[in-house]
A and B are shown apart, each in its own frame.
Chain A
C-alpha cells in the first residue's frame, strides 16, 4: 500500500468529505472567523493530519466534525451522505474522538470499567464484559485495570483508557486532537505506536490535529497546513520530510519545527 501518495489516497472511496466548512464565533463587529472555507477529503483507511499553530482553527474543525459544535457553515459528508448538524447516535457509533489532555478527558469519579461500559450500553452492544476485557488487552493495559480510578493511572495509561473508550464501539473514523501533546516523549512513543498498531489491526481511518510536525508526519500520510482558519496547502508526509513547501508560511513553520536556528 503506497499510502504516502496523495493521488492514490484521494482515489480511495471517501469516508469523510468536508466542503467549504466555516465556523464563526461571536456576532456582528466582534465576529471571528475561526474556520474559513475549509475543504478536504479523507479516504478509507487513510490518516490525515491538520497542522498549525494555536488559534489556527484546526481544533475548531475537529469539534465541528465531531458534532460538539453544531453551528457551522458548509457540508460534512460521511460516506458521501451529508450528516445532520445535530448528530445522531448512528454517527457517533462510527466516528469517535480522542482528546488532548488525558487528565481532563476521563471522568474523575468513574472506574475504568464504568467508563468503558457506558458507550456499550448507549449503543446496545452484547457481551459487554468480554468486550471490555478485549479492548483493555488491545490497548495494552489488560483486564486488571478494570477497577482502577483515573487518578490511580499515569498519563499514558489514561490516554490508553481514552483510546479504549473510543474504540470499544468499533468506529471507523477516529478523530485525534493532539493525543500526545500532554505526554512525556517516551509515553508519546508508546501511544503513537499503539495508534499505528490499532489502525493496522482494525482498519481505522484517522484524522489528527497537532502542532507537532514530527508527530503528525509520523502517523499520517497526508497533512494540511492551516493558518488563520484556512488550509494553506496539502502535502504528503514525504513532501514535509523533504521540505517541499510552496507557501512561505509553511516553509517558515517547517524550518522552525526542525529545531532552533538563531534568527540572523
Chain B
C-alpha cells in the first residue's frame, strides 16, 4: 500500500517512524495507532499469556506434520493404554495410537472450527444487528424476533438439532455452532448501534446526504467491530466447548478423527484406570478456552474504551 513510508522506516528505524509526531501517510497513522494498542496490551500479563498460548497452538496446528511424532491413525494393539513415556509423551489410547500426535492434529480441527465459526457468525451478527438497530421500525421488529427465536434455545441443543437434521460431521457441526453463535452478536451490535445512531457524528454524515447503506457500512459497523471482536474472542471458549461437546456426543467429528471432544469421549471408559487418555484432551480444551478468555479480556481493555 505504501512502500515509501517503509523506506523511511528503514532509514530512521521503526521506532522513530512509529513515534513521528506528524504521520506522513495514512498507513503510518494506522500503524502508529496499532502500535499504541500493542503497547497497552503488552502491559497486561494475563492477556499476553493468553495470546502466547493461542499463537503456540496455532503454530502447532500449522506445522502439525512436523511436530507430531507418530502416525495418528496407526493402531498398535500391543502398545495400547501405555502410560506417558519417552516414546509416547502423552501415552497411547485404547487402540495404541500416540495421544500427543493426535492432540497436535486435533488442534487443527479445533482451530478450524473456532475460526470458521467466527468468520460466519461475526459478519452475520454484525450486519443483522447494525441494520436492525439503525433502521429501526418493522425491520428491527422482524430481525429481532428471529434473533429471539434463536436465543430461546440453549446453543448446544440448537446445534444438536441441526446436526441431527443434517447428519453428523465436522462441517455440519460448524454450521450448527455458527447458527447458535450469531444471535448474541446481533444483539450486541444492535445495542451498540442504538447508542451510535443518536450521536452527532452520525447526524453529521446524514447531513452530508449519505445513504443509510453508506452510514451503516462506513460509520456504524466500524464502531461496532471492536466490541464484536472482543465478544467473539470471549465466545471462542464456548465455541470450542460446544464443538468438543458435539464431538463427545458423537455428532461432530467422526472417528478416527483426532478431534479433542471425540478423544475425550473415547477415553471415558478408561477414566478410572487410565486417566490421561481423557485427561489430556480435556486439559487441552481447558487451556485453549482459558487462553481465549484471557486474551479476550485483555482485548476488551484496549479496544473498548468503556471498560478501559
* A residues neighboring B (CB under 8 Å): 66-68, 87-89, 91-93, 95-97, 99-101, 104-111, 113, 118-119, 122-123, 144, 146-149, 162, 165, 169
**Interface-facing stretch out of B25-33, B129-137, B241-249, B285-293:** B25-33
* B residues neighboring A (CB under 8 Å): 22-26, 28-29, 33, 199-201, 203-210, 214, 218-219, 222-223
With a CB–CB cut-off of 8 A, which chain B residues contact A111? 26, 29
Known: A109-B223, A149-B29. A101 touches B207 (CB 8 A): no
Known: A99-B204, A147-B24, A147-B28. A104 touches B199 (CB 8 A): yes
- A67 contacts B200, CB within 8 Å? no
With a CB–CB cut-off of 8 A, which chain A residues contact B203? 68, 97, 99, 105
Known: A147-B26, A148-B29. A122 touches B214 (CB 8 A): yes
- B208 contacts A122, CB within 8 Å? yes
With a CB–CB cut-off of 8 A, which chain B residues contact A99? 200, 203-204
With a CB–CB cut-off of 8 A, which chain A residues contact B24? 147
- B222 contacts A113, CB within 8 Å? no
- B223 contacts A108, CB within 8 Å? yes
Q: How far is the CA of A89 from the CA of B199 in the complex (A)?
A: 21
With a CB–CB cut-off of 8 A, which chain A residues contact B29? 111, 147-149
With a CB–CB cut-off of 8 A, which chain A residues contact B25? 147
- B200 contacts A118, CB within 8 Å? no
- Residue of B33, B206, B207, B210 contacting most chain A CB atoms (<10 Å): B207
Nearest to B24 among chain A residues (CB) is A147
What are 9 A-to-B residue pairs whose CB atoms are below 8 Å? A68-B206, A89-B209, A95-B207, A99-B204, A107-B205, A119-B208, A119-B209, A147-B23, A149-B29
With a CB–CB cut-off of 8 A, which chain A residues contact B201? 104-108
- B205 contacts A92, CB within 8 Å? no
With a CB–CB cut-off of 8 A, which chain B residues contact A162? 204
- A66 contacts B207, CB within 8 Å? yes
With a CB–CB cut-off of 8 A, which chain B residues contact A105? 200-201, 203-204
- A118 contacts B207, CB within 8 Å? no
- B209 contacts A97, CB within 8 Å? no
With a CB–CB cut-off of 8 A, which chain B residues contact A97? 203-204, 207
With a CB–CB cut-off of 8 A, which chain A residues contact B33? 149
Q: How far is the CA of A68 from the CA of B200 in the complex (A)?
A: 11
Q: How far is the CA of A254 from the CA of B234 in the complex (A)?
A: 57
Minimum CB–CB distance from A137 to chain B (whole Å) comes to 15
- Residue in A93, A109, A123 whose beta carbon sits within 8 Å of that of B222 in the complex: A109
- Residue in A88, A96, A122 whose beta carbon sits within 8 Å of that of B210 in the complex: A122
Minimum CB–CB distance from B191 to chain A (whole Å) comes to 18
With a CB–CB cut-off of 8 A, which chain A residues contact B218? 118
By Cβ-Cβ distance, the 3 closest A-B pairs, closest first, are A147-B29, A92-B209, A105-B200
With a CB–CB cut-off of 8 A, which chain A residues contact B28? 147
Q: How far is the CA of A40 from the CA of B35 in the complex (A)?
A: 53
Q: How far is the CA of A110 from the CA of B223 in the complex (A)?
A: 10
Q: How far is the CA of A24 from the CA of B208 in the complex (A)?
A: 25
With a CB–CB cut-off of 8 A, which chain B residues contact A68? 203, 206-207
With a CB–CB cut-off of 8 A, which chain A residues contact B26? 111, 113, 146-147
With a CB–CB cut-off of 8 A, which chain B residues contact A165? 204, 208
- A92 contacts B208, CB within 8 Å? yes
With a CB–CB cut-off of 8 A, which chain A residues contact B199? 104
- Residue of B22, B24, B28, B214 contacting most chain A CB atoms (<10 Å): B22
With a CB–CB cut-off of 8 A, which chain B residues contact A109? 222-223
Q: Apart from A106-B204, A118-B208, what 5 extra A-B contacts exist at CB < 8 Å?
A: A96-B208, A99-B203, A122-B214, A144-B22, A147-B24
- A67 contacts B208, CB within 8 Å? no
Q: How far is the CA of A147 from the CA of B218 in the complex (A)?
A: 18
Q: How far is the CA of A152 from the CA of B299 in the complex (A)?
A: 21
Nearest to B199 among chain A residues (CB) is A104
Q: How far is the CA of A88 from the CA of B210 in the complex (A)?
A: 10
- Residue of B22, B26, B206, B209 contacting most chain A CB atoms (<10 Å): B209
Q: How far is the CA of A165 from the CA of B199 in the complex (A)?
A: 16
Q: How far is the CA of A88 from the CA of B214 in the complex (A)?
A: 15
Nearest to B206 among chain A residues (CB) is A68
Q: How far is the CA of A93 from the CA of B208 in the complex (A)?
A: 7
Nearest to B27 among chain A residues (CB) is A147
- B23 contacts A104, CB within 8 Å? no
Q: How far is the CA of A220 from the CA of B33 in the complex (A)?
A: 41
Nearest to B26 among chain A residues (CB) is A147
Q: How far is the CA of A100 from the CA of B201 in the complex (A)?
A: 11
Known: A109-B222, A147-B24. A104 touches B207 (CB 8 A): no
Minimum CB–CB distance from A148 to chain B (whole Å) comes to 7
